[in-house]
Each structure stands twice: as structure tokens, then as C-alpha cells.
Structure 1
Amino acid sequence: MDVRTFWLAGRPATGDREFTVTNPHDGREVGRHSVPTDAQVEEAVAAADAVARQAAALPVHVRAEALAHVSRRLAERAGELAELITAENGKPILWARGEVTRAIATFRFAAEETRRWSGEVQRLDTEPTGAGRLAYLSRVPYGPVLAITPFNFPLNLVAHKVAPAVAVGAPVVVKPAPATPLTALLLGELLAETDLPAGMFSVLPVENERASRLVHDPRLPVVSFTGSAPVGYAIADEIPRKHVTLELGGNAAAVVLADADLDWAASRVALYSNYQAGQSCIAVQRVIVEQPVYDDFVERLLPAVGALVTGDPSDEKTQVGPLVSEAAAERVEQWIEEAVRAGARVLAGGTREGATITPTVLTDVPADAKVAREEVFGPVMILQPAASADEAYAMVNDSRYGLQAGVFTRSLDAAFRANRELEVGGLIIGDVPSYRADQMPYGGVKDSGIGREGLASAMRDLTYEKTMVITGLTL
């Protein structure tokens, strides 16, 4: 099997070691990649630093066309990419294809936003002291970006860091997740086809332990991290003078009010508690149902969960595949068993075979159980009745996380009330919290992170505002 190169300052390179990536479902070898040496990592950072001024000055059309090119090439190689995501991540091909489609759109949106990326003008003669003066407001990149990406969306979450960096003219050094580096390396191949200058991007598949040097390097003034809250906040605490953006965990709640369409709510909750094997920070984890319809909802939910197809992720019919590793599945199994020992009841699933957890529904879960308080990152949901909308919204907010929530209701008043009261970065009315459009602002509050993704939002996040005042004009 060929050994994939990594991308060092825009060119393919090999190190002195190899790493083998395996399929979480059956353990077979998916591919091998070369691992950068410390000297090569230093070379990549130095190149990013050296090209920073040139990158910031790149004409808009160069940046936009590079992004559009990647979007087109992703579309041309969509089948190959989807199969690679499924192989190294274990994500069912159904969801892998969806991820590729989203990444195509992400780069397209970035190209469009780049062409709209322009300064603003303010007349300052609104006061006598500003007579003859005009302010030009522009945004300038802080500098090279260190992008640390997770395993669960090995293409689109890399896209959400690379695309806005290129759009604003910031070099980017990508450190992909060790479990799923091959997709990021293929994306690097497409970036290398563009006219971006050497040093504009590197993709360095290094071990997590070696990332600390990159995090602390002053030549990478921006760190954009997606992953768990403990790791993200540890990074932020270590580098207080850097600009850090964090897209962290969630404990996503879906609220089902008494006026909801219960069939629709049950089908959506069943699917989106278990999509990506629950390995999404906005997968449904807590299901809070208004008491008058609780029993009716559960009667509809359990058959919908039971009907989900679990198995080989390469099978077209599979909806729920394995977790990223057997160790990850063992942790989820332990959390389920801990909740059961504390009094929880298993209404569905709860078993493990290798890296696969059967779609699990729990009830009577103690409030302090890990599956209730933390991000389970597995195909597990807990059911909780609420006496009223008041209690339901309070239960949503009783979490240290605040990424997204969903509220099933037909009432516009209930929707706007939820928007006022729920402590989350995003609220989805009439559907699960698992919806994300790649152009919209995306991020959380509390322990769910700092900053926002979504192309225009991320572009603002990677830049600072600069003001130039022109004097002596006749306006």
C-alpha cells in the first residue's frame, strides 16, 4: 500500500516514520501516511510566518478562485472522498456523502464571501472636528492560523478552518486528528493545485503530544481548535496572549412541547441521536418532553429507534456505524452501566459489540450521571418528562454546555420565548438541535466554546478591525 505524503508549505513531503490508519468497523488497514519530523514541523511554521504579509496582500480574485477550485475538485472526487471518510472514520457512507456535499458548499460559500470581503467608509464630518475627514475601515488577519481538527468530521471541519483562513489571506497549518488524517491529506492535494503561494498551507499529521510546540509557537498567533472542552480550555489557559477560537462540546437537548407533531419529533430524535454514531457535538442527547404527551411520544420513539439499521458503514442501508475506536465504545458502555447502577432504566439498546454501541434510550437517569451531565459522544439519549415549558427550558439550561437546542412546537410565541430564555448559541425550532447550515454562525456559550464558525463569522474571527482616517477632503 502506498504511503501518503503530508503537505509541507504547499508541497508533498515525507518524514522518517509511517503511521497506519485502520477502519474502526473491522480493523483492516485503510492507509499509511508519512509523519513529519520536528525539523519539518519547524520548516512549515517558518514558511507560514514568512509568507504572512504576501498572503494578506493577495488579490481577492486569487483567494476566491483558489477556494472555488477546491469546491469544484471536491465535487469531482466526491465518491472517493466519501469512501475514504467511511473507511478511516467508520461513518456510514450515507452520512459520509452528506459531509462531502457540505464541504463542497463550505468552500463555495467561502469563495463567495471572499468576493464580498471589503472595507467600509464612514464620513466623519458629522461633527465640526471631523470636517474634511473620512474613515476607511478594513479587516486585517492576525497572522498564521494553527487549525487543530477533530475526527468526527474529517473533511468538513477541516474545511471550516482552512476556507476562512484562505479567504482573509491568513496562512494555515492544519493538525488533523490522528485517527482520521487521510481525508485532510487529500484536501491538501486539492489545495496544492491552486495558485496560492508556497507556505500558505501545511497539513501536518503529528501526534497530539507534539502539538503543544505548535500551540505555543509565537509565529502562529491564532489557534482554532475543535474538540473536547477540557483540552480546548487547557490550550486557551496556556496561551492567554494568543487569539483563540474554540468549538467545544455539547449536551444537546431536544424539547418536545405538547403541541408538537409527535410522529415528526420521534422520527427526527431517533435518527439524530444516533447519526454519526452520536459522535457529533449537536447530536440529540437529552430529550425533554412535556408531561401530557410524554407516554405517547415514547410509544412512537422506541419503534423508530428500533428500526434504525446498525452495521457495516460501507453498506448503503446502514444508518448507525461504529464509534471511532473500541476504546471510545468501551467508555460509552461504562457510562451507560454507571447510570443503570444508579437507577436508570434501559428502554432500548445499551449493548456493545467491538466499537459499535446499539442505539440506546435511557430513562430515570439520575441528574448527576455522566450521561446526563457530560457529552456522551455516542448513540445514547436520555428521556426526561417536564411538567411545563417553564420546567423544560430550565432543564435545558441546567447544563454547563450551551451549543444548540431544538424545540418541537407549532407556537410562534413558544419559539420566541425559547429564543429569549435558552442559554445556547443556536436554536432550531421544529427540529432537532443537530441541524447546521454551513454559512450560518455556529458556536456556543458557557463551556461550548469561544467564537463562531460559518464563513463570514469565522472570517471576522480571524481578523482585527483597522481604521484609516483621510484628512483634507472635500466631501
Structure 2
Amino acid sequence: MAAETQLWINGEWVKAQRYVTLENPHTEEDIAHIGYASVAQANDAIQAAQEAFLTFRETPAWQRAHILRSVAELIADRRDELAETIAREAGKPMRAAKGEVNRTVETYRFAAEAARDIRGESIPLDAAPNGEGYMAYTIQRPLGVVAAITPFNFPMNLVAHKVGPAIAAGNTIVLKPAEQTPLSALVLAKLFKDAGLPDGVLNIIPGDGKELSEALTTHPDVAFVTFTGSPRVGKLIRAQAGLRKVTLELGSNSPLLIDAGFQQSELEQIADETVQGAFTYNGQVCISIQRVYVHQSHYDEFTQMLAKRAAALRIGDPLDEKTDICSLINQAAADRLKQWLDSAVEKGAKVVTGGHFQRRVLEPTVLVDVPADTQLRTEEAFGPIVLVEPFATWSEAIAKANHSKYGLNAGAFTKQLDHALEASRKIEAGAVLINQVPTFRVDQMPYGGVKESGTGREGVRYAMQDMMDIKMVAFRSSAFHK
């Protein structure tokens, strides 16, 4: 019988108002009955977080760091178990799930280090004529209650990228995990409790995003909103949040540029990295490679290299260590992707390899001649599909990369320094990675986008900057005259 989960509010398990069945995306079997919070319970969680903040904001940095490091070690001790949880509820292949757990450990360790290193600066007020006789400095203070809304594709590490910086900065949190992946978040309740986190600092309320989003973004005690998900929902959250600080990570259709001048062995290596960057976790990664622009001198050869590698990926159960590709997150995702693929083919796109569905599983797919007005070119596929297109000049390649409403990560392989510098200056993205695929990310780097890819930055220290206010303090040395 599938287990029944509860809500975590103010350090206690609370019975939910209703329950929704959670299924394994690959096997479609029931794995849990998830307790969903009502709006009233969301308000209870926010109130608990606000009350906890009044004391937690004064918790010394060493103690916050100790809690975060303890959580990191507790997660490390349960790597295999937690990876299996991710694999079962997210349908993520086990190797990728284990990699996510390892990154989660690192994210909390980075947060522990950052908690010890919050600092301000001295301000030379005497640089202005009326600033003489003052000593001034800044301090950084936590904002208050952080409302965190997380996606399904990295259900443990993207939670860590919100929870870790919030606690490191001295804030409290109300976390609403994705409907598809609540188990990886709920496990944090006991882990943080065992690590010594005070009650009310972390509250976890699975639920319906449409039902809870307004409470989480408009409640007067919510000081900061951090969301990872679709641009449509991100725009709604931005509108609801008003003057609150908001960080939005809204996805992409990441481009990869491959210049002329590579030897065959070098192209082989780029193809190896491209197939990983395009098809890891079935392409359900915000910075998954979706568009590949290859110099015309390499186009035919590289396309075949990529197709050969894509066709060799193994489809199977996510719990099998040998699996590369498995089910998309749900039937709706599969139906959408099939519609987009069929539409592109009807308009003239050619399938080099893949293109076939087995229920929710799409074979790794490489397309060429994809028309500019298709959704696979203009939208985020979030599936195992990559488009390949030739270019004649480097400037043309950059223009093609920029022909998108998104701008999260971009990658560019080139041997020419001037081309590398031109790409770094002109590609419109939050990160431009030279001689690397756009799917590259380490957890201390600034991460976020431009255009419809969002606002603000994650990466522990960068997220913390948004989760704190700068307060200036000035001492007047000669306030009273005899």
C-alpha cells in the first residue's frame, strides 16, 4: 500500500486537507498519497515562519553554518536511498539521480561556508564635502520569510539552491515543491530537525500551485519569492508579488555554437559532450542543449556523429544503472512534445534519428531543416530533442543563437580567440561558456538568465545577496558642541 505523507509546519507533521496520488512516471504505478496543503494551511506555514524569524535572524553565523554542514553530511550518509527516491518520483535515471544527490551535498556545504562570510564595507562619507566627521559602514540583514516554489527536474538540488542560501542568510522558509516530486523535499524535514534547525524555520507544504501561489506571493509576511518554472507562471508570480524581491529562473532553449577548424578527433569529443548535454535526464534540464549551430565545413560530419551517439543511448527503467533515457515526467509532457514534433515534421523538418514514442518515452531525437516558426525552435522543448543547423560565418552563428526569447546559458566551441571574445560579448545569455556545452553548471557559480529566462541569480552567494537587505550605519563624531 502506498504511503501517506503529511505537511511539515512549525516543526511538526500536520494532517493535510486532501490527498493526491503520486505515480512513478516510468512504470505509472502508485508510489505515495501526497498530502496537499489548503490556502489556510499555507497561511499557517507563513505565520510559523514569521514567528520563527523573529528569533532565528539573531542566530549566530557559526550556528547556521553548523546546521547546514550537518545537513550536508546527513544527506551524504544516505546517498543511495535519496537517489532512489529521486529516480522513483522524477523518473530520473539512477546515475543522474546519484549525481544530483552529490551536487546537493556540495550546495549545502557551499551554503555553510557562505553563512560564515557575510560582510559589509566601510563607506568614506568624507568623500563628500558635508560628510566630514562621520564613520559609516554597511551590514547585511536577512529579509524575513522566503517563499520557495521549486520544479520537478532537480527535486533535491534546486530545493537546496533556495533553502541553503535562505538559512545561511538568516531567513526562514516556506517551501512548496513541485506536484510531481514532493518526496525529495519532504525528506528534508527530519534531516534539518536532526541537524538542529529550530522549529518553524523550514516549512514544507506540497500542494496545487494554482491554488497556493497567490497566498505564497501576496501574504504580507512574505518578504521574498524565489521560483523556478515556466515563463507563463513566472510572469504571474511577478505580477502577484508586487514590491517584494523576486528571483525567477524560467528556462531556455540553449544554443551551442561549433566553429570551423576542428580535427575529427576533436569533433568526436564535442559530439560526446553534446549528446550528454542534450539528452541527460531526457532533456528535462533548463540548460539542456536544444539548438546546435555548426559551421558548414563540419555540418554533415558532426550531424552524423551526434545521431550515431543519440541512437546508441539505452532506454530503460530509471532504477537500472545502465539506463540513459526513460519516461518523460508525465503524459501531458509526452503529448505536448509529440504535437510539437509532428508539427515540425509536417512543416519540413527531417528526423535524422529517433522521433518515435513508446508511451511516455521519446527516443533521443536529432532533427535538421527545422523551420524557424516551429515551436521546437521558438519554445523550450524540455525533452530529448536537439536541432542541428549549419552556418557560414561566426557573426551569423551568434545572430542565430540570439534569435530566441530566452537567454540562460549558451556554449561555443572555437579555436579562435577573437571568436571567443566576440561570443562572450554578443551572445545574449546569463552565461556564455567557451569550449563547453551550455549544460555545464557547478553550484557556486552565478546562474540565471536574461529576456524570458528570468531575473536574479542563483548560486549560493549570489542568491544570498538577493535574500538580504543592505543597511547603512553612520556615526557622527561631533554631534554636540560645547
Q: TM-score, normalised by structure 2?
A: 0.95
Partner amino acid for 1:36? A
> Corresponding residue for 1:367?
372
In the TM superposition, what is the alpha-carbon distance from 1:466 to its structure 2 partner? 1.0
The range that moved more, 3-12 or 395-404, is 3-12
Match of 2:422 among 417, 428, 441: 417
Partner amino acid for 2:75? L
Q: Does 1:388 align with 2:390?
A: no
Partner amino acid for 1:345? K
The range that moved more, 322-331 or 233-242, is 233-242
SS in structure 2 at match of 1:262: helix
- Indicate if the aligned counterparts of 2:111 and 2:164 stay in contact, CA closer than 8 A: yes
In the TM superposition, what is the alpha-carbon distance from 1:26 to its structure 2 partner? 0.7
- Aligned residue pairs total 474
Match of 2:282 among 267, 271, 277: 277
- Indicate if the aligned counterparts of 1:25 and 1:355 stay in contact, CA closer than 8 A: yes
Q: Does 1:23 align with 2:24?
A: yes
> Corresponding residue for 1:238?
240
- 1:176-230 deviations in whole A, cap 9, x for unaligned? 0011100000022211223332221100001122212222212112111100011
Mapping of 1:44-443 within 5 angstroms?
A: 44-127=45-128, 129-211=130-212, 212-260=214-262, 261-443=266-448
- 1:312-371 deviations in whole A, cap 9, x for unaligned? 111111111211012211111110000000111111111111111100111111001000
SS in structure 2 at match of 1:292: coil
The range that moved more, 424-433 or 260-269, is 260-269
The range that moved more, 267-276 or 439-448, is 267-276
In the TM superposition, what is the alpha-carbon distance from 1:464 to its structure 2 partner? 1.9
- Indicate if the aligned counterparts of 2:39 and 2:215 stay in contact, CA closer than 8 A: no
- 1:224-283 deviations in whole A, cap 9, x for unaligned? 110001110121123322211100010100111113421111111122211111111100
Cα distance in 1, alignment partners of residues 425 and 273 from structure 2: 24
Partner amino acid for 1:58? T
Structure 1's consecutive aligned runs of 4 or more residues displaced over 6 angstroms after TM superposition are none
Cα distance in 2, alignment partners of residues 288 and 342 from structure 1: 20
The range that moved more, 409-418 or 396-405, is 409-418
Cα distance in 2, alignment partners of residues 69 and 132 from structure 1: 46
SS in structure 2 at match of 1:265: helix
- RMSD (Å), alpha carbons: 1.5
- Indicate if the aligned counterparts of 1:271 and 1:308 stay in contact, CA closer than 8 A: no
In the TM superposition, what is the alpha-carbon distance from 1:128 to its structure 2 partner? 5.2
- Indicate if the aligned counterparts of 2:406 and 2:450 stay in contact, CA closer than 8 A: yes
- Indicate if the aligned counterparts of 2:3 and 2:31 stay in contact, CA closer than 8 A: no
The range that moved more, 415-424 or 132-141, is 132-141
Q: TM-score, normalised by structure 1?
A: 0.97
The range that moved more, 234-243 or 384-393, is 234-243
Percent identity, aligned pairs only, is: 42
- 1:134-157 deviations in whole A, cap 9, x for unaligned? 212112222211100000110001
In the TM superposition, what is the alpha-carbon distance from 1:87 to its structure 2 partner? 0.1
SS in structure 2 at match of 1:406: strand
Seen in structure 2, the aligned counterparts of structure 1 residues 128 and 215 have a Cα distance that, compared at 3 Å, is: closer
> Corresponding residue for 1:464?
469
Cα distance in 2, alignment partners of residues 319 and 412 from structure 1: 35
Partner amino acid for 1:259? G
SS in structure 1 at match of 2:195: coil
SS in structure 1 at match of 2:315: coil
In the TM superposition, what is the alpha-carbon distance from 1:414 to its structure 2 partner? 1.9
Cα distance in 1, alignment partners of residues 160 and 356 from structure 2: 34
The range that moved more, 216-225 or 151-160, is 216-225
- Indicate if the aligned counterparts of 1:62 and 1:195 stay in contact, CA closer than 8 A: no
Cα distance in 1, alignment partners of residues 225 and 48 from structure 2: 17
